[in-house]
Amino acid sequence: MAEVSLTTELLQYVANGIAKGSTYALMAVGYTLVYGVLQLINFAHAEVYMLGSYFAWFQAKWAGYLPDDKGARAETVPIGMVALFVAGAMAACALVGMLIERVAYRPLRGAGRLAPLITAIGVSLLLQYGGQVVFGTEPKLFPTFAETRVYDVGGVKFPNTNIYIVLTSVVLMLGLTLFVNKTRPGAAMRACSHDMRTARLMGVNVNATVSLTFAIGSALAAVAGVLVAMDQPAITPLMGVRIGLKAFVAAVVGGIGSIPGAALGGLLLGVSESVVSGLWKPVYSEAVAFVFLIVVLLVKPSGILGKSVREKV
């Protein structure tokens, strides 16, 4: 291999990190939206992400894109089919998200903050263990894109998968921002996150809005699930645990409750993990998220783009 300058190497890590960060961002939005409305850390979000990739996997299986039992490398999938699988997974996860909220969180609304939190942990465990029972504990091979191409710009390599990941994330994030700021349901979401009781008095259908929030967050998690699975082709029922924790950290770092904050936090985390892992030691990249977290919390507890609230005395 030819000698690579440090700058090129660094740029390569940044480029990889942006792709990784985009998936964090997609996940972080789900945490941020739910936290904004319910002040709940929705631990089960990570498992919705996991389910997203399994839903896509099943569709691929039914469509005949999976390898045989001998474990031969998965067949490639045309991009149109991929879009179809993503859409299917989004719809299924949106339903799952709404179901979780309806069954596990809604009965506890108004019961303080702790009980829903533990319930969220319970749902998360339930889906992890349930996933292991239903899908099996062994990793499943995921099919890949039609052709894997790598573009080379001045020594920095851009695999087309990464480009798809970034593009998809950008489009979805922009769409979500427009939705939240320009539409009536979006306004209802903002009202609920500002003050749920007043929103209800003003005629906002709070239950429907909360359901919608879960549906949107879960659908985005499904996208992240499929994109990541395409990139690193094995999926397991526990695949959500680590990325979930980090995406949540990204949401907090960016400022929980803020959509641009989630995007910023996700990118920041993805890039710095990739750089630390490349230039230093991969082990330390795991700690980056948490170091970021603690520094940000100590300097500005509400996160980079978050608003602080003063307690009334």
Q: Which is nearer to another protein, 38 or 264 (CB)?
A: 38
Q: Which is nearer to another protein, 143 or 257 (CB)?
A: 257
Q: How far apart (Å, rounded) are the C-alpha atoms in residues 266 and 23?
A: 8
Among the listed ranges 1-9, 119-127, 184-192, 197-205, the one in contact with another protein (CB under 8 A) is: 119-127
Identify the residue among 241, 260, 278, 304 touching another protein (CB under 8 A). Answer: 241
Residue 248 makes contact with another protein by CB under 8 A: yes
List CB contacts of 119: < 8 A, sequence separation 6 or more. Answer: 104, 105, 108
- Strand, helix or coil for residue 144: strand
Residue 107 makes contact with another protein by CB under 8 A: yes
Residue 3 makes contact with another protein by CB under 8 A: no
Q: Which two tokens stand for residue 7?
A: 């700058």
Pairing of strands 156-159, 150-153: antiparallel
Residue 133 makes contact with another protein by CB under 8 A: yes
- Strand, helix or coil for residue 65: coil
Identify the residue among 81, 95, 104, 304 touching another protein (CB under 8 A). Answer: 104
List CB contacts of 149: < 8 A, sequence separation 6 or more. Answer: 159, 160
Residue 141 makes contact with another protein by CB under 8 A: no
Residue 77 makes contact with another protein by CB under 8 A: no
Residue 80 makes contact with another protein by CB under 8 A: no
Residue from 258, 310, 7 nearest 154 by CA: 7
Residue 279 makes contact with another protein by CB under 8 A: no
Report angle CA 113, 114, 117 to the nearest 5 degrees.
95
Among the listed ranges 85-93, 154-162, 217-225, 243-251, the one in contact with another protein (CB under 8 A) is: 243-251
Identify the residue among 126, 141, 187, 206 touching another protein (CB under 8 A). Answer: 126
Among the listed ranges 87-95, 121-129, 160-168, 205-213, the one in contact with another protein (CB under 8 A) is: 121-129
Pairing of strands 140-141, 234-235: antiparallel
**Alpha carbon distances (Å) from 14 to 107, 162, 250, 291:** 44, 12, 17, 19
Residue 290 makes contact with another protein by CB under 8 A: yes
- Strand, helix or coil for residue 137: coil
Residue 151 makes contact with another protein by CB under 8 A: no
Q: How far apart (Å, rounded) are the C-alpha atoms in residues 94 and 53?
A: 13
Residue that is written with structure tokens 């179809």 in the block: 84
Which residue ranges make up the site for another protein (CB under 8 A)? 39, 41, 104, 107-108, 111-116, 118-119, 121-123, 125-126, 128-130, 132-133, 137, 241, 245, 248-249, 252, 281, 283-284, 286-287, 289-291, 293-294, 297-298, 301, 311, 313
